[in-house]
A and B are shown apart, each in its own frame.
Chain A
Amino acid sequence: MQFGPTPLSPAEAALRAEVREFLAAELPPDHRPALGFAGRHDPAFSRKLAARGWVGMALPPEYGGHGRSAVERFVVAEELLAAGAPVGAHFVADRQTGPALLHYGTEEQRQRFLPGISAGEIYFSLGMSEPDSGSDLASVRTRATRVEGGWTVTGTKVWTSEAHNNHFFAVLCRTSPMEEGKKHAGLSQLIVDLHADGVRISPIPYIDGSHHFNEVALEDVFVPDDMVLGEIGSGWQQVTSELAYERSGPDRWLSTFPVLREFLREKAGTGVSDEEATVVGRLAARFWAIRQLSLSVARALDAGAAPAIEAALVKEVGTRFEQDLVEALRVAAETELDQGSGSLFGELLAEAVLTSPKYTLQGGTTEILRSVAAKGLSA
């Protein structure tokens, strides 16, 4: 295990102070906190954040990025999440697709996409899940066939968050037929323009009634050769390393934090009972402990380590904690859930009850993570 205590350096602490100041100035007093990175899509906010250099932090300056460390990204991410900032427009491109393009993309692709990602102007969705492929990702059936100058893609992707608002998605598809016993071979990633001919986006109503998920049907969509991400046939390796990116970041344990803060705010007038204090204290203690596990993974990444087991453990415990928090506060508050209750705490709590099951599903389910972590522990 590579978990270890690590402080923020003075420079990292100064960065944090800058982000706090920015958020205090930018978020209006009646700002309704978003729960998690996917909470709210707000291009104007994404651009403002980018103007401060806080989008594309992992990308090098020659592509408009900022070459910042994993810990610096951690510091910015945790402040955004704690404040419930609306970062839904850019976060997939920022966290996942940008680094993948930097890693596997051609020079031309980097020039084309990375400056826009860093400017908070180009947004990506994920193109992995399908109706019959969830945790067993290698079973995807979306198929790309070789044609003159590129590929033509046919298949259906689901749970595509914000496809109706974003620009592109990186589609995992089969570029050669599955061979018995070689399930992970023959997969590739193609960058598909969500506005291309043959792309049909239809909403899948989200559990809370909002429009968040989509089904994206691809019918003979032409993808030119210069939109192939990485090597043809290396899609599996690319996607699994992409999933490991920041698997253990603050977005895996901080999504429901605003509910706790608003609970305390609501109690400011009356004070807390012993039982409420116990719940608040327990949650704060675990936040404090989990945060340091997560921070120590970022520090290890900066030191060049590959803390895969640690990252899986943090996501597993962190996302379950995001859910535990919601239920602990519900019990403490002795309330009936109502999305329109008129109390900020009550409304956030209701939203969190409806949406928090996703935390232990997205980016690797709890069950998959346990299997990854347990194999590492036993090795």
Chain B
Amino acid sequence: MSDDRAMLTDVATGLFRDLCTPEDVVAAEATGWSERLWSALAESGFPYVSVPEEAGGSGGDIADACALLTVAGRFAAPVPLAETGLLGGWLLAAAGLELPEGPLSVAVGRPGDAVELAGGPGAWRLTARVQRVPWGGRSERVALLADAGGDRYVVSAPVASAGVTGGRNLAAEPRDTLEWTDAGLPDDAVGVAPAGVTGDALRLRGALSRAALISGALARVSELTVRYTGERHQFGRPIARFQAVQTHLVTIAEEAQMAGLATEVATLNARPEPGFFDVAAAKAAASEAATIAARASHQAHGAIGMTKEYELGQLSRRLWSWRDEFGSERYWSRELGRQLAEAGADELWPRISTGLGNA
């Protein structure tokens, strides 16, 4: 990790440690929001890491943003960190639109979403229904991709003019449905999407963001499980001494390391944009790891893991949510398999053996 990125990670870890304790997460889950954490993050400029400074962002690259997300995942941070910078901020900045002060979210482009942009300069109108928008109701704006008149646009849609229907993932993170019905938009809320700013590219960034969050959560799950099984005594000794329990510890460590390294390589290779193979492989590995590690960790913890307050549940409920967001392991495996089959048998090994590129 570069020195700058290591420093960023250290500073962020300190901030989350102070402001995102397991108690803070419990409190935030009740309301769907932690203003205290968000203000501190916003003040430090973390949400807009990877968005260019000239566009009003904090600078840095995708790997920096994902390093922050890994820390956020570790602390189960109940805030739209990925959505504001890596996803929504990227869309707005690419289209030359102003970044909002408050949290920004993004329509992830789910099947059944409808976005209709009509009119033109001076008279833009938006009619849209987008589902499972992370912290949609809490955000100031939602970034949308819209096709109109043969062109692709980025829309900075104000949440104030939307109808909001609340929804949540298993971790009580808001995943809201937002509707705009023939809402007027000022010219500075609509910008042409440049080449490369597409739904597919957004999906890659989104999947990478979830892989990074999962990696952070898995690292913490691994630590928690090692600690707990070392402290918990049954039959006169720490349960970590039992071979059957050791199997869980090893499984969790392997999955956490595999997901973590795959994701880190994918983020480091994301210059300028994340690559399809890297993201597909990292998200497939991370989502599968989430399933396997959550199960093993709960088994090793026993009943204490099944309580709302204990940290494990905060992490496992996020793992069970994030693994499916922006494409499950099955989705990415299938897409990856299709591309590999098209490329042919002799391209398989060269592709698998292409890991981290040289800077």
Contacts and interface: CB of A to CB of B under 8 A. Distances in A.
Interface of A: 1, 3-10, 16, 78, 82, 257, 260-262, 264-265, 267-268, 271-272, 274, 276-282, 284-293, 295-296, 313, 316-317, 367, 369-371, 373-374, 377-378
Contact of A371 (B243, B260, B355): B243
Given A267-B341, A285-B280, A295 B249 contact: no
Nearest to B245: A374
B261 A289 contact: yes
Contact of A373 (B253, B260, B261, B349): B253
Given A284-B352, A291-B355, A367 B338 contact: no
A306 to B, nearest CB: 17
Contacts of A10: 358
Contacts of A281: 280, 284, 332-338, 340
A284 B250 contact: no
A277 B334 contact: yes
Contacts of A291: 352-353, 355
Contacts of A82: 349, 353
Interface stretch (B76-84, B148-156, B163-171, B262-270): B262-270
Interface of B: 1, 226, 229-230, 240, 243, 246-247, 249-250, 253-254, 257-262, 264-265, 268, 277, 280-282, 284-285, 288, 329-330, 332-338, 340-341, 344-346, 348-349, 351-353, 355-359
Given A278-B330, A378-B226, A284 B246 contact: no
Contacts of B260: 3
Given A278-B337, A281-B332, A313-B253, A268 B345 contact: yes
B351 to A, nearest CB: 7
17 contacts: A3-B261, A9-B358, A78-B353, A257-B349, A267-B341, A272-B341, A274-B334, A278-B334, A281-B333, A284-B348, A285-B281, A286-B258, A286-B288, A288-B281, A289-B258, A373-B253, A374-B250
Nearest to A75: B353
B102 to A, nearest CB: 35
A367 B341 CA distance: 36
B261 A272 contact: no
A289 B337 contact: no
Contacts of B1: 4
B348 A261 contact: yes
> Top 8 A-B pairs ranked by shortest CB distance?
A281-B337, A277-B337, A281-B336, A374-B246, A281-B333, A265-B345, A280-B337, A285-B281
B84 to A, nearest CB: 26
A9 B316 CA distance: 38
A282 B340 contact: no
A83 B265 CA distance: 25
A47 B260 CA distance: 40
A311 B286 CA distance: 21
Nearest to B355: A292
Given A4-B261, A272-B338, 18 more contacts: A6-B355, A257-B349, A265-B345, A267-B341, A268-B345, A277-B334, A278-B330, A280-B333, A281-B337, A282-B288, A286-B288, A288-B281, A288-B352, A289-B282, A290-B258, A313-B257, A370-B243, A378-B229
A293 B260 CA distance: 10
B341 A280 contact: yes
Contact of B262 (A7, A278, A292, A377): A292
B278 to A, nearest CB: 8
Given A264-B348, A278-B330, A284-B337, A1 B257 contact: yes
A5 B341 CA distance: 27
Given A264-B344, A284-B352, A378 B265 contact: no
Contacts of A367: 243
Contacts of A7: 355-359
Nearest to A370: B250
Contacts of B249: 373-374, 377-378
A284 B261 contact: no
Nearest to A332: B337
Given A261-B345, A288-B262, A292-B262, A276 B254 contact: no
Nearest to B240: A378
A291 B258 CA distance: 10
Contact of B284 (A78, A272, A282, A295): A282
Contacts of B348: 260-261, 264, 284
Contact of B355 (A282, A284, A288): A288
A286 B332 CA distance: 12
Nearest to A316: B250
Nearest to B63: A5
Contacts of A285: 262, 280-282, 284-285, 332-333, 336
Contacts of B356: 5-7, 292
A5 B268 contact: yes
A7 B229 CA distance: 36
B10 to A, nearest CB: 17
A185 B135 CA distance: 64
Nearest to A264: B345
